[in-house]
Amino acid sequence: MNKRRVVVTGMGAVTPIGLGVDEFWKGLLQGKNGVGLITKFDTTRFDTRFAAEVKDFNPEDFLDKKEIKRLDPFNQFAVATALMAMQDSGINENGTDKEKFGVIYGSGIGGMMTLEKQHWVYFEEKNPHKISPFFVPMMISDMAAGQISIRFGLKGPNYATTSACATSSHAIADAFILIQRGSADIMMCGGSEAAITEMSIGGFNAMRALSTWNDRYREASRPFDKDRNGFVMGEGAATLIVEEYEHAKARGAKIYAEIVGIGLTGDAYHITAPSPSGEGASRSMQAAIEDAGIRPDQVDYINAHGTSTPYNDLTESIAIKNTFGEHAFKLVISSTKSMTGHLLGAAGGVEAIATILSIMNDKIPPTINLDNPDPECDLNYSAKIVTEKKINYAISNTFGFGGHNASILFKKAGD
């Protein structure tokens, strides 16, 4: 039986370097740096005082005032990007079978800001009756999927993914599988994160995962550089609308790219560190290539997980070499986290959009701040330049704490 083809027909993004897909892409090509000093709380006692915050986001552009009070920022970002993606897709809501239109939408952490605020509400008076009745639905990670489903009346498959940094790539992969098997014709998928909070920054500092370059914070996100010393926290969201190819064609949809392969693996190694050999990441990429039915040497670009941590960048480079052999030195790699910071559960969605736009425009965004390449990271990372290259196939990699690996393989649109 022939598998149903799956294409991307709508996109929306809220990122530290731009609101909306056009501004995001413009920022990527300009090498825009989204990192700045944290404005959300007093960082005086924190080891890290900077992050990649979303700028100029006005929730009133997307939600009414009552809704805003009842939605954690991660939910606000999610709904905003869903509205963008729906408008972008040109879907006729009244002419669409909503029982075949679903939502899979994730968050690595969920409503962390709400959790912290309500924690203090309780502990100030030790009175549980002071806790907001909206506390739980504002906090839980699945509520982005729920809110989007309710907003548009989407009655198809509806749930959340949570797999740390691989969260929204798993959402895209699940949406792809459900459409392939005929459980849905259209899926809205992606991820959202708003975790620049005291407990998040303090917690990641405690495990020594974040960069502490407070005097050089603009240069702190530096994937594959020998001086890298941790990731930079980011926030934002991305929504993709994926659709069965014939369904999209029948309604005259614009098609951004086709999803042709997914690779999902587990390291089974450590709670935070990747397998030193990169074998889990390698198997993930290999599985995506095999799923697509192409040769490794047909892949032109990899949007790397590229977190700017000592272990990830090295093991991902090893994994790419093990997967592609000599071709690893011919394809181009870049890490857009050098500009956006690490959006945790939203990273896969934002980077899927970056990968798709790279394919469409035959342009690969730079890896900024890559001043002194690690000798062991010896591939072409599009260091500080936009690389112009014909791209027919590209992979977006995301790897999460717990050993979760996801690779999504996209193909240029067209028969």
- Give the confidence band of 70 by pLDDT, cuts at 50, 70, 90: very high
Averaged pLDDT score across all residues of the chain: 97
Q: pLDDT exceeding 90 applies to what percent of the chain?
A: 96
pLDDT at 3: 84
> CA 305 → CA 255, 313, 358, distances in Å?
25, 8, 16
Rg of the chain over Cα atoms, rounded to whole angstroms, equals: 20
pLDDT at 125: 85
Predicted model pTM? 0.97
Beta-sheet pairing, 6-15 with 18-19? antiparallel
- Note whether 171 and 189 are within 8 A (CB): yes
> CA 100 → CA 81, 157, 244, 245, distances in Å?
21, 8, 11, 14
Q: pLDDT exceeding 70 applies to what percent of the chain?
A: 100
Query: pLDDT at residue 1 above 60?
Result: no
pLDDT in tens, 363-413: 999 999 999 999 999 999 999 999 999 999 999 999 999 999 999 999 999
Compute the CA torsion angle 230, 26, 303, 290 (nearest 10 deg): 160
The number of beta carbons lying within 10 Å of the beta carbon of residue 169 is 36
Q: d(Cα 326, Cα 117) in Å, to the nearest integer? A: 52
Beta-sheet pairing, 301-303 with 332-334? parallel
The number of beta carbons lying within 10 Å of the beta carbon of residue 2 is 4
Among 255, 261, 315, 284, smallest CA distance to 398 is for 284
pLDDT in tens, 119-154: 999 999 889 999 999 999 999 999 999 999 999 999
pLDDT in tens, 218-267: 999 999 999 999 999 999 999 999 999 999 999 999 999 999 999 999 99
Q: What is the phi/psi pair of residue 217, to 5°? A: -60, -30
- Give the confidence band of 338 by pLDDT, cuts at 50, 70, 90: very high
Beta strands in 155-280 (DSSP E): 158-159, 186-193, 236-244, 257-266
Residue 264: how many CA atoms within 13 Å on its side-chain side? Answer: 13
- Give the confidence band of 198 by pLDDT, cuts at 50, 70, 90: very high
The number of beta carbons lying within 10 Å of the beta carbon of residue 372 is 12
Q: Which residues are identified as catalytic? A: 165, 305, 342
Structural domains in the chain, CATH included, are 7-250 (3.40.47.10), 264-412 (3.40.47.10)
Query: pLDDT at residue 414 above 90?
Result: no
CA angle 325, 367, 227 (to 5 degrees): 90
Token couple for 79: 């709904």
Tokens 């098609």, residue? 255
Burial class (CB in 10 A: 0-12, 13-18, 19+), 292: buried
Q: What is the phi/psi pair of residue 233, to 5°? A: -65, 135
The number of beta carbons lying within 10 Å of the beta carbon of residue 350 is 31
Token couple for 397: 């990699």
